[in-house]
Structure formats: C-alpha cells, structure tokens
Structure 1
C-alpha cells in the first residue's frame, strides 16, 4: 500500500475532494517522496547482504580483490564474493570444499603430499563448469604456491547410455551426450 493510500485513510473525505486540489497535490507529492525513500532504504538494506547485493557487488569485489576472469552474471559474482568471504580459513580440504560449495558444486579434495598436488574432483556436475576461469583464479589464492592444482571432471560413461535407444539419443550431439543424459 502506498503512503498516499495510508494518508487518505487517515484524513476526512472532505479534505481530499476536488475543492482541495492543492492539498491533494501536496499530499500526493509527499507520498511519492516517502515511497521513493522507502524503496531506497529497502534497496540499501539488500546491499548489506552478499546474497541479495546488486549495485554493491563491485564494492565487495574490491574488498576481496576479486578480478573477474569470465563474463559473469550477478549470481556468479555473488558466488565469488561469498567464496572469498568463506575462504579465510586456510587451504584445508574442508575450507576448499566449503568455498566451492558456495558456487553450488559438490567436490572431493584429493591430496597427494608426495607429489605436491591437490586435485579438485567434481561429484555432481558433468563436464567443465562454465565459470572454471573464476574458480581457477580463486583457488590459486587459497592453495599454497608450491602445490600443483589439478581438476577432475565427470563425463557420461558408456554404461550409463546402455539403457537408452538410438531413437532417444539421435537428437543429441556427441558433446551433449558427454555432459547430459537423454530424456527417457
């Protein structure tokens, strides 16, 4: 409900009739400004939280020194900021998993101490994630420089396609079949 509607309910009807055009105009302009102020306050409150920030994202990105590699939308940029805010815990497998969880990925961290490598294995995403550039940039900030970072991706295996007929798969390309299953 707008502020003007609230004013109309509080004032007598004779106060806002046609003979009082000036008063009605004044109340309408005040109500418009109050509504605009209310909207600005609500928008400002949204910017205080990473999950709902829009125009404040560059401020958060500057705070965490985030440089965008991929052309990211707002959701991906929020994920970057959220990951950086969660990442101050060091390079433990739990903290890396937590950071990648903010992107919506379920991962497993494989450490090879003798080979000085860390492998990030995706558990629930088929193919290469579209924001891999951002993930690589982010992980190079967390993982110590003496460790090599490797990525392990999941693709569709032949045994998963055995239950589908050629007719079900013919509308899909080879690349599509690598990253998604046909609909039965």
Structure 2
C-alpha cells in the first residue's frame, strides 16, 4: 500500500474539518509515509522467514516444531538451519543427488555418495573437509532416515597423508615449530 493510499484512508475516516486543516494534512502525510515504510519492513522481514538460509530464531523454532526437530541440544542458528534444510530435503525416495544435498547441508562442504546396490552399502565421502566433520552425528541421523534400514552406511573421511605434510613443511623442525599436535597435523590444510 502506498503512502498516498494510506493518506486517502486517513482522510476518508477523519472528520470533514480535519481534511481542510493544513496542519492535520501534514500529520496525516507523515503518518502515511511512516506506515508505508513499516509495511515494507514487515513484508521484507516476513518474506525472509520463508527462506531457510535467512530465517530468524522464531521462524526456525516454528519450522523445527513443524518438522519434528525439537530437542534440548544447543545449536547455532547456522547449525539449526542446516538441520532444517536436510530434513526438508529428506523424507522421500532419496537419489544419490538428494543424499549428497542432505549431507552437504550439515557439513557445508562437498560430499560424494556412492551406493553398492548388490552389497546394500552406501558410502558417504567428505571430499573437501579434513577429518571428521563437527556435525557428523546430525549427518548420521539424517542418513539413517533417508536410506532404507537394510543399508549399511560407511563414512569416509579425508586426512593429510605423509606426502601432504612433507609438501607443507620443508623440515621436521618447521613442523614442530608450528606447535600442532598429531590430530591437528592430520586435519590442518597446508599453506
């Protein structure tokens, strides 16, 4: 609704002597402009609630309840959005592309899924993430829901090899000087 439409509505419902008053017309015009701006902001805010990537706390709470994702675990907004995105993508006969989208929604990286139909095995490989993803339990729960119950699920993680470490650090002293522990050496991208 435009400011002029709001102004016309104000004038329609006001007493005739206010319509003639210049001061009241200025007040009505200011209120109309303010109402128009407020309408635009509210509309923009509500439209954002339709998109999982832009939902706010209250919108996420409503959608989590709708999709049965209520629990007492404290998660960041981004983690909650990832869970909701994965749940929305799941719940149907999942193709390999669907499974990759579900897993990628949680970890924020590329995921490759291969299925051995003869052995009833699905392999979920995290391509561009080193080590075990921080949200692996969410990925596992989503894959358990998306895949048939008789499938065995294998998770393949990527770690630095000796050659990767040798390329990143010229000498053993250089490696030691970084102060990394063994698990960090395996999962830290080289320079």
Normalising by the residue count of structure 1, what TM-score does the alignment of the two structures yield?
0.73
Structure with the higher helix share, 1 or 2:
2
The verdict on how the C-alpha distance between 1:67 and 1:159 changes in structure 2, with shifts beyond 3 A counting, is farther
Q: What residue in structure 2 maps to residue 92 of structure 1?
A: 95
Give the total of aligned pairs: 166
Q: How does 1:6-155 map to 2 (within 5 A)?
A: 35-54=37-56, 55-67=58-70, 71-103=74-106, 104-155=108-159
Q: What residue in structure 2 maps to residue 168 of structure 1?
A: 174
Q: For the Cα contact (< 8 Å) 2:112–2:125, is it kept in 1?
A: yes
Q: Distance in 2 between matches of 1:161 and 1:23?
A: 75
Question: Per the alignment, in what secondary structure is the counterpart of residue 189 of structure 2?
Answer: coil
What are the ranges of 5 or more consecutive residues in structure 2 without an aligned counterpart? Answer: 4-22
Q: Distance in 2 between matches of 1:68 and 1:168?
A: 46
Q: Distance in 2 between matches of 1:69 and 1:153?
A: 28
Q: Distance in 1 between matches of 2:76 and 2:25?
A: 46
What are the ranges of 5 or more consecutive residues in structure 1 without an aligned counterpart? Answer: 4-20
Q: Distance in 2 between matches of 1:123 and 1:91?
A: 20
Q: For the Cα contact (< 8 Å) 1:119–1:152, is it kept in 2?
A: yes
RMSD, aligned α-carbons? 2.9
